[in-house]
Structure 1
Amino acid sequence: MGKIVVSQNVTLDGVVEDPSGEGGFRHGGWFQQFMGQDWEAWEELELAEAEGAEALLMGRRSDEYFGARSPLMNGEWVDRLNRLPKYVVSATLQEPKWTNATVMSGEAVSEVSKLKRQIPGEIVVYASRPLVRTLMEHDLVDELRLTVFPVVLGAGERLFGETSDKRPLRLIRTKIVGNGLAHLTYERAREA
């Protein structure tokens, strides 16, 4: 059975909105602004994660974002991501933008549940905030990997929204990435 792993860059106060600064958010661009000297260490972390993945899972906007940029980027991490099978959850998308991608147009919870049964190993979710919220609400996320950037923005879309109930997690790993980033790994706690 597959394991859904949410991998996300996030500010100290949980903001995930507009890390690149391309979205027009007044606090956008925090990813590079607060990366500091940690770029190489972050790339190593991301490459190791991609090498351990069996597939990627994302929403339509993430497919469009990464699909448009991956031909312009180079390096081992991007090469690995391009080779991985990708599954895009979308009711509106007809043709995915990224290579090796399949559109899952049915109901998200059902489609992802099937995918977990079909693919052994890690199915990694990058970005895709609305999808992550749906997966968390329906207890489909097995692990969260948060790379925390040393900044509080005070505003912006956060990774998690309201849920119908508590979602207990257990911290299983911490790692300092470079000199300023924290990488926290949580697994879903079956019992609170």
Structure 2
Amino acid sequence: MAIQRIHHVAYRCHDAKQTVEWYRDHLGMDFVLAIAEDQVPSTHAPDPYMHVFIDAGGGNILAFFELPNSPTMGRDEATPNWVQHIAFKVDSVAELEATKARLQAKGIDVVGVTDHTIFKSIYFFDPNGHRLELACDTNTPEMDRKLDDVKWDMLNEWAQTKRAPKHAAWMHEKELGQGTA
């Protein structure tokens, strides 16, 4: 079997129409499909829903379910809110900065621009409480090679110690102006 790409990623939303309009208005994503059923096709459970699909670019589809008969939507309280997020790639740092300014002008709180050495990003929440990230790659082939060379060593060390390995500490140091503090 060979996976071709992610077909879609689905999350829950409070209001399908509001969600579609928010992603269209703030991130320029097109609404591509709506499916509504009174019964879940896979389980046959009686649970009406609206399932909307939004074009996230590059063949990637972001989908949402509105479930009016389910308990109020929450989040996994055992997971910090910065962990679970959806990250979208943008073309340039200038686009990242312009988007940050546009979102802030519309009253959306934005964290960043955060420099991760191999990319820069901003963070904010959609109207459903899902954390979003916009990221712009700033990596070089040398950085990619260095990270590729140590990925298995890092993973194996983590698996044994549950402590952050230091193989890529250069990413967070001010070495030759490439790292971050």
**What's the TM-score, normalizing by structure 1?**
0.27
Larger Rg: 2
TM-score if structure 2 supplies the norm length? 0.28
